[in-house]
A and B are shown apart, each in its own frame.
Chain A
């Protein structure tokens, strides 16, 4: 030990407190008997489902502050239920379609509740919720032609999107807009125009992506930016090796992910950061290309990448069909190794984020909520399929921590919807 101990800073003090509570949990785990260990690593499905179904049917007065996020509440809950392999009965399905229909604006898009202005984030949540419900009634309840007009209205000349009429412009808006358009088969040149330049201007010196140009690299925006760049076929323009280097360092001693450099671990980044790794697995060829010629990054706006059909190809067009990218992405065999510690992340999720009474949370000492339940479970699903060559084959038990019954449904990592629901929606909207 040094003789002169400097006064700890706020960052250090907060970090030590979290480490202390997390390591206590891990110590208890390590010193437990085999049976207790198995119990501790068990995903408490029944408790989580109880919490989730409870929220679908009733939310207390404290939820007033989320009154402009009701499609989000739907998505967080429905997606969590679907990840756990459960579905709604037909009455709840009908009620979901009916309720979200009341949030749909006559001029396109979905608002935060009935009668509220349409908003890109709640539109994303509503669209993903309806895809998660699935079936003709749910999918056809989305008015795609007015939704397209809403997206056009939000589009900015800078390439970005506004969240709503008169709303803020940021990377979230780009992701939600492009994700919605892609999954609904309405993504075109006009919507894509300059989006790549905008996202590129948000990649920071650290390697991650910020919410707006010059802001700090952040897990949520990094996922949004990376997923957007994949969907518009411009992912090779990002500095991927710096992005990966930033990303791997977000996993810390606590075993979970933090959102930013020197910030605290938080269960929701299990998906925002973990999901980015799931995206990177399938863009490995671009990473290799950048490693060979590192000085070419970001300079070329014209695509030189191999998956753009060249003239003489089957489509006889030099133009990529944006609406196929999400599908081609998931049906392509991943080329890259796993680059985060999946067992460590599972350990954090299972031991530190499960609340006794059901639901998942940010970190020990915090209260459960639907947002964290959704993104902790989404992150856990990413861990389960992280080594799989395709997500349809059940993974070998060695990839999983805890009993095999923990296994969750696979997601399409770009959209974060259950994979088989994605395929159903893709087929449905392609034939429209």
Chain B
């Protein structure tokens, strides 16, 4: 939509020659509807004409134009979008133009399931010629809101269905550099290393990813995203998780700074409950943090510290402690 078009005055539909043969169908709200909306005249009239063409199942150019107007008034109306898809198919419309229409909708409100579903439908029809455009489109949305759920979801679909993985790991890296706390970027990174066909999968990527993540943790030990990512690198492989010395080592490093220790302690607890045997250095540092409270059992001591330091989750840490005694 260019701005000229927006400035044009709205012509009531009943005054348009192209719709003169259409009898509008009013909404059947009944005599005493609840949650009645005081529609503006333009909204009521547009929807009345839409209903008429929808009920007649008229898949025509004028019906397509009408859906454009109706969607602009309420992009959340899935019925209009679905009818529009039927019309687009019937008329064999150039789908590149249709991408432009969705661009315009996204500009005003991009947090809408219908828009993204429509976009996915379009890209699926267009096939790989849409790949770069779709990646650019999501990139643009993500540059405004880097955690946009629909945009990420669409981007993942594009990569899996159409390809374009080549730069994705770099893209994730750039976003993480920009905002290391951006969990959506970390999630995308996980998606890339586990799903990208040219990278070889989680196990092949693990070593370099652990290195990357440990660095991120050291930079910001209070960042939950990187800690969860680190744990995710050992998903379904608790043995390697416990045996990799880099994990206990990053815990130790963070604990030595004596600040932001919650994630390091919770990671350590996770390690111990999967069979990890902490060395003296780790024991000493936990005992020093826990002072004056201590317990001969290190996992219990960790829970005690967390109960104190992470008081909003005190009940959780108490529960974790109770489960330790059950298991042993």
Contact = CB atoms under 8 A, between A and B. Distances in A.
A64 B153 CA distance: 27
A316 interface: no
B40 A61 contact: yes
A167 B327 CA distance: 47
Contacts of B183: 216, 260-263
Interface string A233-257: 0000000000011101101110100
Interface of B: 25, 27-30, 32-40, 43, 47, 51, 55, 73-79, 82, 85, 113, 116-117, 120-121, 146-147, 149, 152-153, 156, 178-184, 187, 190-191, 195, 223-225, 228-229, 231-232, 235-236, 238, 266, 274, 312-316, 318-319, 322-323, 326-327
B59 to A, nearest CB: 14
Given A73-B35, A168-B117, A215 B187 contact: yes
Nearest to A164: B78
Contacts of A102: 28-30, 33
Given A216-B184, A261-B228, 14 more contacts: A9-B182, A59-B35, A73-B35, A98-B30, A102-B29, A102-B30, A111-B79, A163-B113, A207-B228, A249-B224, A261-B225, A262-B181, A262-B183, A292-B327
A92 interface: yes
Identify whether the interface residues of A are mostly helix, strand, loop, or mixed.
Answer: loop
B270 to A, nearest CB: 8
A199 B262 CA distance: 30
Interface string A69-112: 11001100100000000000001101110110010000000011
A117 B114 CA distance: 14
B153 A251 contact: no
* Interface bin, chain A: 35 or more
Given A59-B35, A114-B27, A211 B153 contact: yes
Contacts of A337: 315, 318-319, 322
A107 to B, nearest CB: 14
11 contacts: A55-B35, A63-B37, A91-B32, A215-B149, A215-B152, A215-B153, A216-B152, A261-B224, A291-B326, A341-B314, A344-B312
B38 A61 contact: yes
A11 B182 contact: yes
Nearest to B224: A261
Given A10-B179, A260-B183, A339-B319, A57 B38 contact: no
Contact of B37 (A64, A249, A344): A64
B11 to A, nearest CB: 19
A312 interface: no
A56 B323 CA distance: 48
A288 B225 CA distance: 27
A68 B313 contact: no
B308 to A, nearest CB: 15
Interface string A4-38: 00000111100000000000000000000000000
A55 B27 CA distance: 19
A95 B34 CA distance: 6
- Determine which residue in B43, B73, B229, B319 has the highest number of CB atoms from chain A within 10 A of its CB, and name it: B319
Contacts of A58: 36, 38
A99 B180 contact: no
A114 B28 contact: yes
A167 B79 contact: no
Contact of A98 (B32, B74, B179, B315): B32
A152 interface: no
Contact of A218 (B75, B85, B149, B274): B149
Interface string A280-321: 000000001001101100100000000000000000000000
B76 A69 contact: yes
A251 B35 contact: no
A61 B315 contact: no
Contacts of A214: 156, 191, 195
Contacts of A163: 78, 113
B152 A112 contact: no
B169 to A, nearest CB: 15
A113 interface: yes
A408 to B, nearest CB: 22
Nearest to B235: A205
A64 B191 contact: no
A39 interface: no
A244 B149 CA distance: 22
Given A67-B77, A251-B312, A262 B35 contact: no
Given A111-B79, A205-B228, A205-B231, A249 B34 contact: no
Contacts of A341: 312-315
A66 interface: yes
B34 A74 contact: yes
B79 A59 contact: no
A73 B28 CA distance: 17
A340 to B, nearest CB: 7
Contacts of A362: none
Contacts of B223: 262
Nearest to B182: A11
A212 interface: yes
Nearest to A97: B34
Given A251-B313, A338-B315, A339-B316, A211 B149 contact: yes
B315 A340 contact: yes
A210 B238 CA distance: 23
A60 interface: yes
Contact of A204 (B120, B187, B318): B187
A112 B79 contact: yes
Nearest to B51: A115
Nearest to A218: B149
Given A9-B178, A214-B191, A251-B312, A119 B78 contact: yes
B180 A9 contact: yes
Closest 8 A/B residue pairs (Cβ): A205-B232, A11-B181, A9-B179, A261-B183, A216-B187, A68-B77, A73-B35, A168-B117
Contact of B79 (A10, A55, A117): A117
A61 B36 CA distance: 10
Nearest to A291: B323
Contacts of B315: 337-341
A340 B236 CA distance: 27
A166 B78 CA distance: 10
Contacts of A50: none
A140 B310 CA distance: 51
A156 to B, nearest CB: 14
